[in-house]
Amino acid sequence: MSGDGEQTVDRTSSEERVALLEFREVNTHYGAVHILKDVNLAIYPGELVCLLGGNASGKTTTLKTLLGMVAPTSGEVVLKGEVVNDKPISYRVENGVTMVPENRRLFKRLTVKENLILGAYLRSDKDGIEADLQYVFELFPRVEERLSQKAGTLSGGEQQMVAIGRALMSQPTVLLMDEPSMGLAPALVQQNFDLIQQINEEGMAVFMVEQNANMALSIADRGWVLQTGMVVLDDTAESLLANPEMRAAYLGEA
Amino acid sequence: MAGRVSDGAIHHFAGGSRLTATIERKSARQVSKVDRFLTLIRVFLVTLIVVGILAFIAQQVAPENPFARWRNPDAVGLTGDQFKGLLMSGLSQGAMYGLIALGYSMVYGVLGFINFAHGEVFMAGAMTGFIASDKFSQTGMWESNFLLSLAIIIILAIMVSTLTAVLMERVAYRPLRESPRLIPLITSIGVSFFIQNAVMGVFGPSTKSYPQLPQWLSKQRSILTFEIAGTKLLVLLVAAVSMGGLWYLVERTKTGKAMRAVAEDKEIAALMGINVNRTIVTTFAVGGAMAGIAGILWGLLFRSVTHMTGFLPGIKAFTAAVVGGIGNLPGAMIGGISLGSAESIAPLVILEPLGVPGVSQLKDAVAFTVLVLVLLFKPSGLFGEQLSAEDRA
């Protein structure tokens, strides 16, 4: 994993401003329902960005479209300069995109180790996988203690560690996170955001979808706000935090 | 003791019991008739089993004592060797049920429905075994090189059964992947009829007999004081090896991990880069292979096969899967072995002492009574997990 970090830094300097993952005028439909409307997004190497929005604003659909679980009806999903609209999820995972799903969604009947190894399902470099396992243990010593336990028996915080560890095992260059603070005890939420920041500082781009706008913007570089499938705000995190419209709609009660 | 409890505690306790009483009264009102009926069945079955076993023990102690003769004046009891013989037949047949049950359990695990056509996959294996062994017997190879012929018919049966199962998934179930679970369930019954009738159309409705097994195989052998026919020993061995192979595949290989991941959460499995469709096909293929092996074992044990051969063993294997806890693989195997032993032993140990006539023909009744018992007392099966609300939905 440490090797991968260096790679990412290299890419940043040589291919500056080539987005890792990009939406160009993306529209999606579920049946006749128009979900995403001409959405433009771009995630650049090493960035920590967040997507905010209320319920049913299209946040989860955005993630699913980025991963290829939902096909866009028009527009382009671009992965490192290549249009990947009709490529399967596995192609995107192989090329450095992965997600920590909402509510962690570990394989509860499998052991912690099996969960982590499944994260590296598409890789066959045994030494690299072993090295990344060690990296995950370094990041989360607790996970190593629980290695042979069934994932379903872990606490919420531990499950979150395994979920992030599992995602890291695929050697991503961009990590998508769906509601990382959802369902965590308040004390763990801060710890969780610290962790996301730490992973980002090691060179990985993070794209996070969050309800907790205040917390997300406090660590993010940039952010977008989705409203009924349209990007209504696209700005740096600082400006978003200062934006009166934003304050009223999303930060008011937080 | 009550005197020492503080007022608060008494109050709390009383409140608690009042609440429980209310809930009980409410639920009693809702399901009273069904509940009473089920309790009646439970009591009846348990009494039957207990009295049967007591009468059997009385018989064993002395066939002349009044309790032994109470229901069955002709009571003679069983000798130790007879009992061991029954146990061995039960185990070998149960191992075969277990192998079929694995297919039910695996498919249920990944797709959440019962593939009722799985018995037909088993029948396809048994039929292939008949056709191939018949040819071998004509050329004389069956006698001259039995083990090689057996290996070849097992491989052929595995291939045909695997192909049947995979085609079934591709043609009948994959187009229905997104529909409610009842739809593929009903479809599987249709697939079952289709295969039965197709096989009858092609090979005719007559009973086909496997060639005679070589003398050295079928003769009685003695192992640890157990007298067992060589055939049954072979059946147990093949079943044990297959089960071991399956366990290794599921628990120790990457494919197995993918299968377990898909069984638990298809969306996240896909997120790991697992090809979900291919994994489902693999699951059908592996279940089919196990049924193919079971088909040959059936041929060895009973030496006859028809287009209807898949029906009863199929239903019994399904019972075995439920007994073990559907979706649980060791459970399926243990369920099969328990069911086989029960249907072999119970008629003589429980029913005969009760004076039930014609007990040797009541194997099937026993098997399905076991199903009823499990559903009455432990619906999730012996090793089944309690389904979470989310899984049930």
Asked whether residue A11 carries a pLDDT value surpassing 80, the answer given is no
Using alpha carbons only, give the angle A105, A110, A112 rounded to the nearest 5 degrees.
80
A230-245: average pLDDT: 87
User: Does residue A41 carry a pLDDT above 60?
Assistant: yes
**Three-state secondary-structure class, residue B357:** coil
Query: What pLDDT is stored for residue B126 in this prediction?
Result: 96
Measured at the CA of A165, the angle between CA A161 and CA A166, to 5 degrees, comes to 120
B152 has a pLDDT exceeding 80: yes
ipTM: 0.86
- pLDDT recorded at residue B96: 95
Does pLDDT of A82 surpass 50? yes
Q: What is the pLDDT of residues B239-294, one digit of tens each?
A: 999 999 999 999 999 999 999 999 999 999 999 999 999 999 999 999 999 999 99
- Percent of chain B at pLDDT > 90 equals 54
Q: Would the pLDDT of B141 be above 60?
A: yes
Per-residue confidence (pLDDT) for residue B18, from 0 to 100: 47
Select the residue of A67, A109, A117 nearest B271 (Cβ to Cβ): A67
Look at residue B69 in the predicted model and tell me its pLDDT. Answer: 67
- Beta strand A205-210 with A82-83: parallel, antiparallel or unpaired? unpaired
Question: Quick check: A68 contacting B, CB < 8 Å?
Answer: no
Residue identified by tokens 């896909």 is B270
Cβ separation B257–A114 shorter than 8 A: yes
CA neighbor of B127 nearest in space, from B191, B201, B188:
B201
How far is the alpha carbon of A242 from chain B, nearest alpha carbon, in Å?
Answer: 36
Give the residue from B253, B267, B272 with the most A CB atoms within 10 Å of its CB, the best one to mutate.
B272
pLDDT of residue B9: 39
| pLDDT 10s digits, B363-382 | 888 889 888 888 888 888 88
Summarize pLDDT for B315-358 with one digit per residue, the tens.
Answer: 999 999 999 998 889 999 999 999 999 999 888 888 777 777 77
pLDDT of amino acid B341:
93
Q: What is the pLDDT of residue B73?
A: 67
CA B321/CA B311 separation, integer angstroms: 15
Whether the pLDDT of residue A10 is over 50: the answer is no
How far, in Å, CA of B97 to CA of B318, rounded? 9
Contacts of A121 in chain B (CB under 8 A): 254, 257-258, 272-274
Cβ <8 Å between A118 and B275: no
Is B275 in Cβ contact with A90 (below 8 Å)? yes
Q: Which residues in chain A are closer than 8 Å to B258, comparing Cβ atoms? A: 118, 121
Question: Given an 8 Å threshold on Cβ–Cβ distance, is B272 in contact with A93?
Answer: yes
Which pLDDT tens digit goes with each residue over B24-82?
555 555 667 888 888 888 888 888 888 888 878 777 777 667 776 666 666 666 777 78
What pLDDT is attached to residue B154? 95
Three-state DSSP at A234 gives strand
Q: How many CB pairs under 8 A join A and B?
A: 55
User: Mean pLDDT, to the nearest integer, of B125-140?
Assistant: 93
Residues B201-210: tens digit of each pLDDT: 999 999 999 9
> What is the model's pLDDT at position B239?
95
Give A-chain residues touching B279 at CB under 8 angstroms: none
Contact between B256 and B249 (Cβ < 8 Å): yes
What is the pLDDT averaged over residues B136-147? 89
Q: Give the per-residue pLDDT at A251.
A: 65
- For testing contact with chain B, the best of A90, A93, A116, A118 (most B CBs within 10 A): A118
CA pair distance A210, B319, nearest whole angstrom: 47
Give yes or no for A20 touching B (CB within 8 A): no
CA distance to B90, B309, B312, B343, per residue, from B368 (Å): 15, 18, 11, 9
Nearest Cβ partner for A119 among B254, B267, B272: B272
By three-state DSSP, how is residue B363 classified?
Answer: helix
Q: Taking CB atoms and an 8 Å cutoff, what residues of chain A touch B271?
A: 67, 89, 93, 98-99, 101
CB nearest A121 (choices: B260, B265, B272): B272
- Considering CB atoms only, which of B260, B268, B275 is closest to A105? B268
pLDDT tens, residue by residue, A89-146:
999 999 999 999 988 899 999 999 999 999 999 999 999 999 999 999 998 999 999 9
The first and second tokens of residue A215, run together, are 């917390």
Output the pLDDT for position B6: 41
Identify which has the larger pLDDT, B226 or B180: B180
Place of tokens 């439970």: B42
What one-letter code names the amino acid at B15?
G
Any B CB within 8 A of A241 CB: no
d(CA A192, CA A213): 14
Q: Provide the token pair at A49.
A: 């960005």
* B207: contact with A, CB 8 A cutoff: no
Q: What pLDDT sits at residue B77?
A: 67
Q: Is the pLDDT of residue B222 over 80?
A: no
Mutation to test the A interface, candidates B271, B275, B388, B391, most A Cβ within 10 Å = B271
Q: What is the mean pLDDT of residues A1-15?
A: 44
Q: Which of B260, B274, B275 sits opposite A110 (nearest CB)?
A: B260
State the pLDDT at residue A47: 92
The ranges of chain A annotated as CATH 3.40.50.300 are 1-96+175-254
Q: pLDDT tens for residues B112-122?
A: 899 999 999 99
Domains of chain B: residue spans and CATH: 80-383 (1.10.3470)
Q: Are the Cβ atoms of B273 and A110 closer than 8 angstroms?
A: no
* Confidence (pLDDT) at B215: 83
Q: How many residues are there in chain B?
A: 393
Looking at residue A31, its pLDDT comes to 87
Q: Does pLDDT of B392 surpass 80? A: no
Pick the CATH number of A1-96+175-254 from 1.10.579.10, 3.40.50.2300, 3.40.50.300, 3.40.50.11610: 3.40.50.300
Is B271 in contact with A110 (Cβ distance < 8 A)? no
pLDDT at B3: 40
Place of tokens 């026919």: B229
pLDDT of res. B242: 95
What is the signed CA dihedral for A126, B276, A99, A161, rounded to 10 degrees?
A: -60
* 8 Å CB contact of A121 and B273: yes
Q: B376 and B45 in contact (C-beta within 8 Å)? A: yes
> In a 10 Å sphere around its CB, with 0-12 CB exposed, 13-18 middle and 19+ buried, how is residue B241 labelled?
exposed
| pLDDT for A209 | 92
Any residues with CB less than 8 A from the CB of B271 and at least 6 apart, and which?
A67, A89, A93, A98, A99, A101
pLDDT value at position A56? 81
Rounded CA separation B226/B140 (Å): 33
Give A247→chain B minimum CA distance, Å: 35
A39 interfaces chain B, CB cutoff of 8 Å: no
Percent of the residues in chain B that have a pLDDT greater than 70, as a whole number: 86
Q: Counting beta carbons within 10 angstroms of the beta carbon of residue A4, is it exposed (0 to 12), middle (13 to 18) or buried (19 or more)? A: buried
Strands A230-236 and B208-209, how do they pair?
Answer: unpaired
Q: How far is B274 from chain A (nearest CA, A)?
A: 7
B265 touches chain A (CB under 8 A): yes
Complete DSSP assignment for B81-140:
HHHHHHHHHHHHHHHHHHHHHHHHHHHHHHHSS--TTHHHHHHHHHHHHHHHHHHHHHHT
Question: Considering only CA atoms, which of B85, B121, B94, B86 is closest in space to residue B240?
Answer: B94
Q: Please answer yes or no on whether A93 and B257 come within 8 Å at the CB atom.
A: no
* Mean pLDDT (chain B, rounded): 85
Q: How far is CA B23 from CA A17, B18, B39, B294, B322, in A?
A: 65, 9, 19, 49, 31
- pLDDT confidence of residue B391: 46
Residues of B in contact with A90 (CB under 8 A): 270, 273-275
Quick one: tokens of B104? 């039910």
Mean of pLDDT values over A196-216: 89
Mutate to test the interface with B, among A107, A114, A122, A150 (most CBs of B within 10 A): A107
Least confident window among A74-83, B53-62, B101-110: B53-62
Q: Which residue has the higher pLDDT, B309 or B362?
A: B309
Distances (CA, A) of B51 to B303, B315, B334, B343, B361: 37, 28, 26, 18, 21
* Identity at B100, one-letter amino acid code: I
Partner B contacted by A153 (CB < 8 A): no
Alpha-carbon distance B273 to nearest alpha carbon in chain A (angstroms)? 4
Separation between Cα atoms, residue B313 and residue B289, nearest integer Å = 16
Judge whether A60 is closer than 8 Å to chain B, CB to CB: no
| CA-based nearest distance B272→chain A, Å | 5
Q: Which residue has the tokens 């830094």?
A: A9
